[in-house]
Amino acid sequence: MLYTKEIEVLSLIADRIEGRSSREIALTIGAMISCGDLQPGDRLPTVRAVADRIGVSSSTVADSWRILTAHGAIDTARRNGTTVRSARAEMTGRFWQVPSTLGASIVDLSTGTPDTDLLPPLGPVLHRLHADVSITSYIDRPVLLELEHELNRRWPFVPQSLTVVNGALDALDHMVAALVRLGDTVVVEDPTFPPILDMLERAGARIVGVQVDRHGPVVESWAEAMAKRPTAAFIQPTAHNPTGASLTPRRCAQLAEAVADLAPNCWVVEDNHSGAIAQTQLVSLGEHMADRVVHIHSFSKSHGPDLRIAAVGGAEEPISTVIDRRRLGPSWTSRLIQNILLTMLTDAEVETQVALAVQVYSERRRFLRDALAAEGITTEPGEGLNMWIPVADEQRAVVALALDNVGVAIGHPFRLHGNTDPDHIRVSIGSARGDLGELAMAIASAARA
């Protein structure tokens, strides 16, 4: 049964629609929303009612609704019907960083950024750049040939295609756009990095979480998720954020075997956000299934966040989709920045500085872990910049540490809804330069709060 307003909307849609394809229907309704004929909150008629009125199949109208939903024009809430979304829907996201209102004096260990004192200095690198770094044509290849050779040399498997984009999150955003459609089942680690969950939710994915231990996704949990035949899986193979876990070669092979047996059409996207600051040897599912894996390697943590550059290599199809889509926008990541990265990757002094950073981060992590253990707080070994610390009450722990002028990230934004694991906080050691013993005592006290 249609309400009076829905009958009016149905008549309006029927009068305006000229074409009969799902795209033409979606474009017509989108135009009606843009010009104000359909207002935010207006309830649309049912798929069947529209189909009967304009003489098309229900599946055609349903496809139109999916297109409109993917573009943020409408909201579908099952029994509550379909309504026009506000033209400026707010991006809420998961609030996982320390509030800036706590003051500039706070030691911010919430953001996962590297220690600026441990990053290679850019001044000497800029002096060593090649003389000619100018662009010769807008249709030049998107990746410098010399940089592509260097990246291929470092890649954990032989990639079918390779490009560079503006950082790991940019790469993840492109991969979600290329691989995930409304209603697709997508697998992620639980817990995981909050922006990954935000991206997938906004793409309309059905998110399935898998448990994580010190060696990455738990095999049994991963197999259960693969049995649901997901479209894609997003994992962090090294220095998992927030736990610090890294895949072992054995665990990697087990995960690849489960994909091959249970979900052979699943794409696996690996977010190697930590890049070169991890100590363990990088392993990748691409070693076992190169035609279904995309590996993202970020250089922000090791060579400088402001470079805003990450390499994306692996399966041909999704990477080609990203390259084609970027031609409609930025087309390429600055070749000047690429040249800077190439110079850094082939410079012995920079390599020494990166190795020193790895050692310092490892020592900080080991010290904090041992000091917390002495206070009865057990954490996993892990690696990278983040520690996942169990607490009695994460909200109280965050507040208690803020009162001690220490900012940390609250745990729940990293977990999927329904996750009943014990409370945690995430502490990033990149900016932990002061008295680590004092910091450990403050964390232990907050953990017991």
Task: For residues 254 and 292, state if they share a domain.
Answer: yes
Strand arrangement, sheet containing 82-84: 43-44, 82-84, 74-76
Task: For residues 323 and 374, state if they share a domain.
Answer: no
Question: 409 and 98 in contact (C-beta within 8 Å)?
Answer: yes
Question: 296 and 269 in contact (C-beta within 8 Å)?
Answer: yes
Task: For residues 328 and 362, state if they share a domain.
Answer: no
Q: Would residue 92 count as lying in a domain? A: no
Give the number of residues written for the chain: 449
Task: For residues 315 and 232, state if they share a domain.
Answer: yes
Task: For residues 186 and 306, state if they share a domain.
Answer: yes
Q: Tell me the C-alpha distance between 367 and 372, whole Å.
A: 9
**What are the structure tokens assigned to 76, written together?**
């579908």
**How many domains is the chain built from?**
3
Domain end marker among 346, 381, 415: 346
Secondary structure (3-state) at 289: coil
Domain end marker among 346, 366, 390: 346
Q: Which residue(s) pair with 108 in the sheet?
A: 407
Q: What does the pLDDT read at residue 91?
A: 47
What's the domain range around 404?
100-116+350-447
Task: For residues 60 and 112, state if they share a domain.
Answer: no
Task: For residues 324 and 412, state if they share a domain.
Answer: no
Task: For residues 196 and 334, state if they share a domain.
Answer: yes
pLDDT band at 65 (very low <50, low <70, confident <90, very high): confident
**pLDDT beyond 50 at 155:** yes
**What are the structure tokens assigned to 18, written together?**
């000229």
**pLDDT beyond 50 at 100:** no
Task: For residues 45 and 186, state if they share a domain.
Answer: no
CATH at residue 336: 3.40.640.10
CATH at residue 434: 3.90.1150.10
Lowest mean pLDDT among 115-119, 136-140, 283-287, 355-359: 136-140
Q: What are phi and psi of 255, to 5 degrees?
A: -65, -45
Give the count of beta carbons closer than 10 Å to the beta carbon of residue 4.
Answer: 7
What is the tens place of the pLDDT at every residue in 338-395?
999 999 999 999 999 999 999 999 999 999 999 999 999 999 999 999 999 999 999 9
Percent of the chain with pLDDT over 90: 62
pLDDT, the chain, mean:
89
Q: Would residue 124 count as lying in a domain? A: no
Where helices occur in 82-230 by DSSP H, the ranges are 122-127, 145-154, 168-179, 194-202, 219-226
Lowest mean pLDDT among 83-97, 119-133, 184-198, 350-364: 83-97
Average pLDDT over residues 266-284: 93
Q: Would residue 122 count as lying in a domain? A: no
Q: Would residue 121 count as lying in a domain? A: no
Task: For residues 355 and 425, state if they share a domain.
Answer: yes
Query: Helix %, strand %, coil % for the chain, to 5?
Result: 45, 15, 40
Task: For residues 276 and 291, state if they share a domain.
Answer: yes
Task: For residues 29 and 104, state if they share a domain.
Answer: no
First and final C-alpha spacing in the chain: 55
